Amino acid sequence: MNDDQQDLDSAIHHARVLTWVCVALFVVLDVVGLTASSQSDPRFVLGAFGGAASFLGIIGAGVWWAYLASQRRARSLDDRLDHELGMEDEHDDRREPPSV
């Protein structure tokens, strides 16, 4: 496994962990907000705004995770195509720009 693949796998792991941390934070903050006795209670405000912020974190981390996973799939498809075409060198499938 080369360094690029290890970096990509590490980034996917970080995105996955960040997604689940945001999910857990969202649940905890919503429970805190639900335990508030009224809307003027600071726990309600913490639950409302903290829950909204962590929900945005879930969306952002999930998009990052999906983007990185698609990069991994694209690389594996590219490697498989190179293997089927018999290209061993990674630079053989790259064309030179036309000279003007």
The pLDDT tens digits for 21-37 are 999 999 999 999 999 99
CA distance 65 to 49: 24
Residue 33 lies in a domain: yes
Residue 29 lies in a domain: yes
Domain total for the chain? 1
The pLDDT tens digits for 37-89 are 998 999 999 999 999 999 999 999 999 999 999 999 998 898 888 888 887 65
Residue 26 lies in a domain: yes
Residue 70 lies in a domain: yes
In sign, the C-alpha dihedral spanning 72, 78, 79, 81 is positive
Range of the domain at 56: 3-85
- Residue 92 Cα to chain centre, angstroms: 31
What DSSP character marks residue 37? S
Instruction: For the beta carbon of residue 18, count every other beta carbon within 10 angstroms.
Output: 17
CB 43 within 8 A of CB 33: yes
Kindly report the CA angle at 39 between 34 and 40, in degrees rounded to 5? Answer: 125
pTM comes to 0.70
